Structure 1
Amino acid sequence: MPVIIMKSRKGISIEQKRRLAKEFTDTIVSTLGTKRELVTIFFEEKELEDIAKAGRLRCDE
């Protein structure tokens, strides 16, 4: 049962998520030979205040 966790900042549109879900699933199925029904994808979105990079909060950039 392949599981993909897609982490990103908030703001990805539903259409972008649909496309990512399809393309991630297609890639897993073709690469691993697994059934589509077994592929699970979690989208985890964070506010910029919840993400730090290089010692600084992203909201402060």
Structure 2
Amino acid sequence: RDSEWMGGVFKFLGLTIGCIQHDQPPEIRRAQYECDITYGTNSEFGFDYLRDNGMA
């Protein structure tokens, strides 16, 4: 929702926008994290951190 609302402004400024969603495969998630701005929920970011650091 927020990425759609502010996305036009950020794209106008030359920034890339990504959005993390629960059902995305790892290669799509990785591409979203490579963007300048990445939207997602606290739990998605938290679990991605734990998964990436071998804690989950």
Q: Shared fold (TM-score greater than 0.5)?
A: no
- Higher Cα Rg: structure 1 or 2? 1
Q: Give the number of the structure with larger relative contact order, counting CA–CA contacts within 8 Å between residues 6 or more apart.
A: 1
Greater strand share, 1 or 2?
1
Q: Give the TM-score, by structure 2 length.
A: 0.30
